[in-house]
Amino acid sequence: MRKPYPRDLRRRVIDAVEAGASRRNAADTFGVSPSSAGRWVERWHEHQAAKDSAAWPFEEARKILARLKRSPKDTVIFETGYGPSGLPHIGTFGEVARTTMVRHAFRVLTDDKVETRLIVFSDDMDGLRKVPDNVPNKEMLAAYLDKPLTEVPDPFSSGYRSFGEANNARLQEFLDHFGFDYEFASSTKYYKTGRFNATLRKILANYDRVMDIVLPTLGAERRATYSPFLPISPTSGKVLQVPMLSRDVKRGTVTYRDPDTGEVVETSVTGGRVKCQWKVDWAMRWVALGVDYEMAGKDLIDSVQLSGEICRALGAVPPEGFNYELFLDEHGQKISKSRGNGLTIDEWLRYASPESLALFMYREPKAAKRLYFDVIPRHVDEYQQYLRAYRQQDLKQRLGNPVWHIHPRKLPKPEIPIPFSMLLTLVSASNAENAETLWGFIRRYRPGVTPRTHPKLDALVRYAIHYFHDFVLPQKKFRAPTEVERAALIDLRDGLAQLPANATAEEIQDVVYEVGRREPFLDRRKTNPKDGKPGVSLDWFNMLYEVLFGQQKGPRFGSFAAVYGVENTIAMIDGALARSA
């Protein structure tokens, strides 16, 4: 492997180009490749432009810069948390994706002069508090309530030693598939191997201060039994929520009464013999791992503040971060891992690409959003629109383009010539059961475009077939045209019949508009900017989709007909007329 160029050499190349030398001349002068010189200059320009970018990841990264000015350090630690009590859901992915965006923005702001790490931390030592709704073998799981998740059998299979390990693997598989750069951390492993021992002893030494912070936030009944430490019962293996009878800071132990045997038990707070209550546990991780940045949901605002106070009591500074809004299901309810409402990672990937999901996560993180199947098509198409727009944008605009944040310095080329909404309508019109049927239309419309030359389009075709059959087809409801609408459809059919087989989308759309310029579809309040003719109301286009496709909406009709074919479109109109005869 070739050694990286020294940073001072990069600086001299950049200075030469900024002084007026061409990138090639600067590369020749300093003995580096032209591609390296070009890349360094581009990244330097990004670094300069990023200082003023209003994109939210840069705003978050500036918080970390201010933190470093107050307390310099060599490596900045980003963290996200995951509770493996239920299957990984899209909210889990969203936290990793958004944190990665902030990390990328920070690297650009610092010109990569500060090392960064992203830790994805699994709370897999938590006790199983209730049986999730969306898993099999519920009766089996019920026997393991209150035991650490890494001691609960996997209800799905015997392929993993525990439920916690199985869910950890499911999460990592997706994060790896998307290419995230992260370090996975297991709570069970960190507790048992002693990674947290020093901080656990610090909590024991500051026991009263921690209790003074937490107790005022609890009800009277809970205050009577609360302890920052949760012993792991040596007899039942359960995570116990019991009060501490005494503690010995010098020995590093706490004493409690075992609820099963009634015996008084002294146990060490280190080596995995206890775990912390979760708000204390959160603060403990921040201190032990030196976390500088962690975001959290809006529902955890009070918890973030409380854990921050505990962190300060332990002599550390809480991490920077922000509170994002929650994802809601189709009923406007908060998504829950244990209930399994909303979407899973696998469900989104059945219907769309990971990039479209990342776009959903990028947009408006502080606004509550419905996370349900009906948001998928729009995000698939808008991702492609952002990708195409990027090539024509200046640097300031690029730094505000979501794809810059979705693809850190690895921006793919746009290769989707047909929108997802168009593919869905093609499936609807043709009743396509397989990808080959759709590719027949695509090849005719775009000769030379094949699954081999456009693999992402091929994936999109398969996504469209899945989405149509699972969501569009069950909702299709054709309506019969009125007599006026029927006459207009006949005129549209006759108008299309006058066009050549290879008519363009614009030529077809002109016919659609011309036929629509009649009562009751004529809209004199609008004017066509091309020819000055009166406009056409939305009722005309709504009628076309309701009568011809059994849907409420669809893509531009001329564009659809150009891909589907004029003859096929005429046959579709004939079919609708026959159904309503």
pLDDT, position 198? 98
pLDDT, position 533? 81
pLDDT, position 165? 95
Here the CATH number for the domain that contains residue 303 is: 3.40.50.620
Domain count, the chain: 5
Tokens of 156: 């799905």
Instruction: Say what angle helices 420-430 and 435-445 make with each other, to 10 degrees.
Output: 110
Tokens of 141: 């799981």
Is residue 493 one of the residues assigned to a domain? yes
Contact 98, 324 (CB under 8 A): yes
pLDDT, position 59? 97
pLDDT, position 216? 96
- Do 159 and 267 belong to one domain? no
Is residue 69 one of the residues assigned to a domain? yes
- Do 500 and 560 belong to one domain? yes
- Do 170 and 290 belong to one domain? yes
Q: What angle do CA 439, 435, 448 make, to 5 degrees?
A: 25
CA distances from 361 to 108, 181, 322, 533 (A): 20, 17, 14, 42
**Exposure pattern of 335-368 as b/e (b: 16+ CB <10 Å)?**
bbbbebbbbbbeebbbbbbbbbbbbbbbeebeee
- Do 290 and 313 belong to one domain? yes
pLDDT, position 337? 55
For 327, other C-beta atoms within 10 Å of its C-beta total: 22
pLDDT averaged per 10 residues, the chain (length 581): 73 87 88 87 87 96 97 97 82 91 97 96 95 87 95 89 93 86 97 98 98 96 94 95 96 96 96 96 98 95 97 98 86 66 80 94 90 91 96 95 92 90 91 89 91 94 95 90 95 96 93 91 80 85 94 89 94 92 76
- Do 173 and 239 belong to one domain? no
pLDDT, position 522? 87
- Do 500 and 435 belong to one domain? no
Cα separation of 274 and 197, whole Å?
11
Is residue 333 one of the residues assigned to a domain? no
Is residue 286 one of the residues assigned to a domain? yes
Is residue 254 one of the residues assigned to a domain? yes
Which residues form the domain of 453? 420-475
pTM for the structure as a whole: 0.90
- Do 293 and 282 belong to one domain? yes
Is residue 554 one of the residues assigned to a domain? yes
- Do 575 and 446 belong to one domain? no
pLDDT, position 2? 57
- Do 27 and 145 belong to one domain? no
- Say which residues have a Cβ less than 8 Å from residue 119's Cβ, sequence separation at least 6: 77, 78, 79, 80, 182, 183, 185, 289, 291
- Do 107 and 156 belong to one domain? yes
pLDDT, position 54? 95
* CB-facing half-sphere around the CA of 316: CA atoms within 13 A: 23
Cα separation of 74 and 170, whole Å?
32
Is residue 352 one of the residues assigned to a domain? no
Is residue 386 one of the residues assigned to a domain? no
- Do 132 and 171 belong to one domain? yes
- Do 21 and 70 belong to one domain? no
**Cis, peptide link before residue 520, omega less than 30° from 0:** yes
Q: At which residue do the structure tokens 């409690």 appear?
A: 256
The strand pairing partners of 297, in sequence order, are: 324
**SS3 call for 364:** coil
Chosen domain end from 441, 475, 509? 475
Cα separation of 61 and 63, whole Å?
5
Q: At which residue do the structure tokens 């809004």 appear?
A: 325
pLDDT, position 336? 65
Number of helical (H) and strand (E) elements in the chain, helices listed first: 26, 14
Which of 394, 324, 392, 331 is closest to 360 using CA atoms? Answer: 324
Chosen domain end from 243, 258, 276? 276
Burial of residue 251 (CB within 10 Å: 0-12, 13-18, 19+) is exposed
The strand pairing partners of 276, in sequence order, are: 229
pLDDT, position 539? 92
